[in-house]
Amino acid sequence: MNTSLNEARSRFLQCWGEMGSCWGINKTMAQIHALLMVHEEPLSTDEVMRELNISRGNANMNLRSLVDWGLVRRSFKKGERREYFQSEKDVWRMFCTIARERKKREIEPVITALQECLAIAGRDRDCAAFRKQVESILEFVKTADLMLGKISQQQKSRVLPLLVRLLG
């Protein structure tokens, strides 16, 4: 098999794994995702284990997480009991999926927590400065949340013109 393709692939897996770590995503999960992204054909758990040199438990757990995130689909070959996994390939749809999940898992809980902070603080005069700061953070996070929600519902083609306007 083409050596430079192999080398390029493994460079890509490494890159994607590191990027994941930066953004709070398990490195192996990111690498499995990368692996599936650059394979047209669905891969089995055993193939993933072999390609990344990881244990069955690890492969299974991270494949499941990817399915939970909606980035990877289980797929079956007729006449085979074994399950295969296939990644979403379209980058914009991947982005939308990730945005929706992080919104739900991470941003919305922060909004709730900040609202709790304000509720706990109450309205005493000596809380005024604290309230003001937390309120402005909350407002920002809410706007970001709303925006992420809207953007991740759009077709890519509808977002591009806005970007052009912004970048122009």
Partner DNA sequence: TCGTACTTTCAGAAAGAACTGAAAGTATGA
Partner DNA sequence: TCATACTTTCAGTTCTTTCTGAAAGTACGA
User: Which residues bind to DNA, rule: CB under 7 A?
Assistant: 21, 26-29, 44-46, 53-58, 60-64, 80-83
- Residue 53 contacts which entry, a copy of itself, DNA, none (Cβ below 5-8 A, type-dependent): DNA
Please report, for residues 72, 101, 167, the alpha-carbon distance to residue 59 in angstroms, rounded to integers and kept in the order given: 13, 21, 41
**Binder among 100, 110, 142, 145 for a copy of itself (CB under 8 A):** 110
Rounded least distance, CB 69 to a copy of itself, Å: 14
Question: DSSP labels for 19-82?
Answer: HHHHTT--HHHHHHHHHHHT-SS-EEHHHHHHHHT--HHHHHHHHHHHHHHTSEEEEE-TT--S
Residue by residue, what is the 3-state secondary structure of 107-127?
A: HHHHHHHHHHHHHHHCCCHHH
Choose the stretch contacting a copy of itself; rule: CB under 8 A; options: 49-57, 59-67, 71-79, 89-97: 89-97
- Residue 99 contacts which entry, a copy of itself, DNA, none (Cβ below 5-8 A, type-dependent): none
Q: Is 122 in the site for a copy of itself (CB under 8 A)?
A: yes
45-74: contacts with a copy of itself (CB under 8 A) = none
